[in-house]
Amino acid sequence: MESIEKLISRLETEFEELPEGRLKPDSNFSEYMAWNSMNSLLIIAFIRMEYDLEVKGSELQSVETPNDLYKLLQSKS
């Protein structure tokens, strides 16, 4: 698994609403983007394409920060 900084960089590139360079490991996603079912689907697709991992929507419910997402991805790899 790559570093959390690389994950953040990829997220900022993929999601236009995430301001480049401002997202930190403990930043709350909801401060920068709508945390809704559409973005959940986009994040699931992003994870599948970038990391070849399967994540369920129910697993994303507890994800609030990049650090939470990073830990989830680590547990899957």
Listed in sequence order, the residues at least 6 apart from 17 whose beta carbon sits closer than 8 Å to its beta carbon are 32, 33, 34
CA 36 – CA 43 distance, rounded (Å): 11
> In whole numbers, what is the pLDDT of the chain averaged over residues?
91
DSSP 3-state of 31: helix
**Per-residue pLDDT at 8:** 94
Q: Say yes or no to pLDDT of 35 above 80.
A: no
DSSP 3-state of 55: coil
* pLDDT classification of 39: cutoffs 50, 70, 90: confident
The average pLDDT across 21-47 equals 89
**Per-residue pLDDT at 34:** 81
Domains of the chain listed by start with CATH number: 4-76 (1.10.1200.10)
Q: Considering the entire predicted model, what is its pTM?
A: 0.89
